[in-house]
Chains A and B, each alone.
Chain A
Amino acid sequence: MAIQTEIIGLPPRSRSHLAALRLGDFPLIPVLILGTIALVAIFANVLAPHNPEIGSLTARFKPPFWQTGGSTKYLLGTDQLGRDVLSRLIFGARISMVVGITAVLFAGVLGTTLGIISGYLGRGIDQVIMRLTDTWLALPALTFAIFLAAIVGPSMWNIVLILGITYWTRYARVIRGEVLSLKEREFVRLAIVAGCSKWTIMYRHILPNVINTAIVLGTLELGVVIIAEASLSFLGIGVPPPQPAWGLMLSDGKQSLMVGRWWLSVLPGCCIMLMVLSANILGDWLRVKLDPQLRQL
């Protein structure tokens, strides 16, 4: 149940304090990291030295080139089926990006729309949608994902669907909160007086003002979604093999970790970590830049 109002007793942030915080710091490294991942994802076909899905059992478990037994043919080593790890990581970027961004978009569009409708129209619809989010929340996210996976079966797009349906509620609640306060603002009242229809107002006036929040949420949810994908793979219901999703590689590599073949697990783990960490830092920064007046997120 969202706390719907401001906490009394705490006045607005002091300007001088903020000034001391050097708001201008742009998180260069995270953005560069995310940008690189995106580029790698787009140009995977060109960048990857081998086919990520085909290997040969005779070349199994080769270590990265700087260890004994490694070779420059397979720069980062090979996995249990002899597939080149570097190529898999590169193509995995594509899958992680696609799954992550699409799931977030899906959840975002769904959640934002419902949040706007719920917040602006209020009354009955609001209650219904809010009860729905309550119910959804009571159903633990991962459990819900497992259910859906059992019903629709695994495939990359099904995973996107599953993740999208699982994570829309946060958007709805937060956006709704925003809309509630926006509703009282001058420009909205003016629009009503001017005779604009409800839908016009929601689309042309409310929406642009909540987009910022949605974007911030999206960046933060990106990390959550990618970690969720990895957890689903661990439970056996993620993006199906032989697709080289990082989460799947991480999960497959857990045995190798125990046996000393660290590269099969640590490398995808690092990729995930870099991507999620960058998304989180970026999201935190965006939250400051795009929404100075935001009190609840």
Chain B
Amino acid sequence: MNLPFERREGRADLPGLTRRDVLALTATGAVAAATASAPFRVLAAGPEGQLTWGIHVSLAPTWFDPAETPGIITPFMVLYALHDGMVKPMPGQPLAPSLAESFSASEDGLSYEFALRGGAKFHNGDPVTAEDVKFSFERYRGTSHDLMKNRIAEVETPDPQHIRFKLKAPWPDFLTFYATATGAGWIVPKKYVEQVGADGFKKAPIGAGPYKFVSFTPGVELVLEAFDQYWRKTPSVKRLVFKSIPEETTRLAALQRGEVDIVYSIRGELAEELQRTPGLTLKPVLSLAPFWIYFADQWDTKSPWYDERVRRAASFALDRQAMNDAITLGYSKITGSIIPYSFDFFWQPPMPTYDPAKAKELLAEAGHLDGFDGGEFYCDSSYSNVAEAVLDNLQAVGIRLKLRPLERAAFVEAYSNKKLKHLILGGSGAFGNAATRLEAFVVKGGAYVYGSYPDIDALYQQQAAELDHKKRAAILDNMQQILAERMVYAPIWQLGFINGAGPRVGESGFGLIQDFAYTGPFEDITLKAG
């Protein structure tokens, strides 16, 4: 605080100081003790026909536009409400026909045909036509868009109800990218977008989804209203409100007070508290994001991490189950792979075990009888708690590290610009399949690859050209096996994402769509009667 001027004081303090101090201390302590022992009441309030979400991030208008999806899951928390796609993951079906009534691929794999559902409408009443589908595809400029553009030769619209994608060469991953990994298959109205422009569209988006846009106050809240002409069914909740409450403790407080009905992302002790509060339900979802330790300088012959035994020792030192129980209440799934369980071409490696004795043995073998200085350990500061637990475990077998939590932006940049060293706590929620994950994180030239092994690189090139699914799978399995044997990464778990629902919620929408961390489909969400 800068004061332009401040006058001199007369007196100093008084003998009565002791009493005041103790008084203050006691007051604080009393308050804390009182709150500690009191049970929390859950107030059930909230307007009729409306459900309110307390979300953990600030909503960005780019998420209202499927043309700009960044390939991670967060925008889909809104996309599923506002928009609809040709084919999208739904309960029980990873590739459920939605706006498309049916689809098929040609024998030679060079063309894919979609038949639009009759009667599908946009929020402004206009029907969804093939022109809109073509338009949506061509305007897509989010992640992987040049990948898609390069492989598609042409988009044909033989009639208003049919679209045909013609590929330049057979691409078995086309549907994965079109339907799940990108927003290219989510349809926006061509006439409207051309009328208002991209920026105007983000201010007042119109889509074909179960809810229409009412209002958005940046950083504060988003309001949506049910679209009763949605083809699948009329949503039962009339109004949805999404409020941004980035501070976790405040978010939980809001849920407890009934100010919001559903919250995303509650971790650690707060999750325990949620569990204990009557009226509130814990809604854990297994996310698509594996977390791992990356040994960034294992290719440096001078580094202690060069020795494979040392890396394996680090993996043995981790008590993953205890960490899981402590940090994510046991809802994370321990894994030995950096590839999510549900990905195509996933190969199951041997499960990692907790064996500190063996870890010390390996270290001794490698010449580090008394442990060693492992260098620096970088992590995204929002996951410091995981990193600290890992640090602790490694310390216990003698590996000393200095923790360097970085703010998210700084971390992501430093990670991808290869500025980090020694150990990195990383993770990824990106879509794709085993091949795409390996490409980004293992193979030479990948964004997060600090070094590579020539045999793995060679195998990758091989599978990229392989058309036969079985043969391709075999090569990818082989790659993952080498990865595991060589302990290039020490994976920890696939993150359990813990959410919460209040007493007014009937069907919350959590866990209906596989691998989806948020609520969906929105038209299936209900309020409890009464």
Contact = CB atoms under 8 A, between A and B. Distances in A.
- Tell me if B's interface is mostly helix, strand, loop or mixed: helix
A249 B13 CA distance: 30
A140 B257 CA distance: 34
28 contacts: A1-B4, A2-B4, A25-B12, A27-B17, A29-B17, A30-B13, A30-B17, A57-B322, A57-B323, A57-B326, A57-B392, A169-B2, A237-B407, A242-B403, A255-B249, A258-B270, A259-B270, A259-B273, A260-B35, A261-B36, A266-B28, A266-B29, A266-B32, A270-B29, A273-B25, A291-B8, A294-B8, A297-B3
B58 to A, nearest CB: 15
A155 B24 contact: no
B14 interface: yes
B391 interface: yes
Give chain A's interface residue range (CB within 8 Å of chain B).
Answer: 35 or more
Contact of A241 (B32, B36, B323, B388): B388
Nearest to B25: A270
A54 B14 contact: no
Interface string B356-398: 0000000000000000000000000110110111011001100
Contacts of A60: 326
B21 A262 contact: no
B2 A259 contact: no
B341 to A, nearest CB: 25
Contacts of B403: 240-242
Contact of A224 (B1, B7, B270, B319): B1
B455 interface: no
A285 B407 contact: no
Nearest to A264: B269
Interface of B: 1-15, 17-18, 21, 24-25, 28-29, 32-33, 35-37, 248-249, 252-253, 268-270, 272-273, 319, 322-323, 326, 381-382, 384-385, 387-389, 391-392, 395-396, 403-407, 409-410
Contacts of B381: 154, 236-237
A123 to B, nearest CB: 22
Contacts of A58: 322
Centre residue among A150, A154, A260 by max chain B CB count within 10 A: A260
A23 interface: yes
Interface string A63-101: 000000000000000001100000000000000000000
A28 B405 CA distance: 40
B13 A281 contact: yes
Given A255-B268, A258-B270, A265 B405 contact: no
B380 to A, nearest CB: 9
Nearest to B413: A150
Given A54-B396, A273-B24, 4 more contacts: A29-B21, A173-B2, A255-B248, A288-B12
B5 A2 contact: yes
A176 to B, nearest CB: 12
Nearest to B380: A236
Given A25-B14, A258-B249, A57 B2 contact: no
B410 A236 contact: no
Given A170-B2, A262-B36, A287 B9 contact: yes
Given A241-B388, A242-B403, A285 B13 contact: yes
Given A22-B11, A291-B8, A29 B18 contact: yes
A152 to B, nearest CB: 10
A262 B35 contact: yes
Given A57-B326, A259-B273, A25 B2 contact: no
B409 A150 contact: yes
Contacts of B24: 273
A109 interface: no
A154 B405 contact: yes
Nearest to A296: B5
A74 to B, nearest CB: 16
A256 to B, nearest CB: 6
Interface in A240-284: 240-242, 254-262, 265-266, 269-270, 273-274, 277, 281, 284
A22 B12 CA distance: 9
B321 to A, nearest CB: 10
Nearest to A287: B9
Given A18-B10, A259-B269, A288-B8, A254 B406 contact: no
